[in-house]
Amino acid sequence: MLRNRIKELRARHGFSQTELAKRVGVTRQTIGFIEKGEFSPSITLSLRLAKQLQITVDELFWLEGGDEDE
């Protein structure tokens, strides 16, 4: 399962879901789904999110569970 730190970092930067969504070109609902792990973003969106949150993609997202080595 893909895990992330978006909610934590979004709060640290003072962004609402709506504000972050506007900054990266998606809907607020998309940000919510990503935060809950219900949607895996594209590489492009992952890069946009990482840039806005001032972190690298590999620090923002990681795999949890049995799929790490595959």
Specify if 21 maps to a domain: yes
Specify if 65 maps to a domain: no
Q: Is the pLDDT of residue 69 over 80?
A: no
Specify if 67 maps to a domain: no
Specify if 38 maps to a domain: yes
Task: State the Cα–Cα distance between residues 68 and 20, nearest whole angstrom.
Answer: 28
Specify if 42 maps to a domain: yes
Specify if 69 maps to a domain: no
Question: Structural domain tally of the chain?
Answer: 1
CATH label of the domain that carries residue 56: 1.10.260.40
**Which CB contacts under 8 angstroms, 24+ apart, belong to 44-51?**
48/23, 48/24, 49/6, 49/20, 49/24
Domain that holds residue 15: 2-60
What are the pLDDT digits (tens) for 5-62? Answer: 999 999 999 999 999 999 999 999 999 999 999 999 999 999 999 999 999 999 999 9
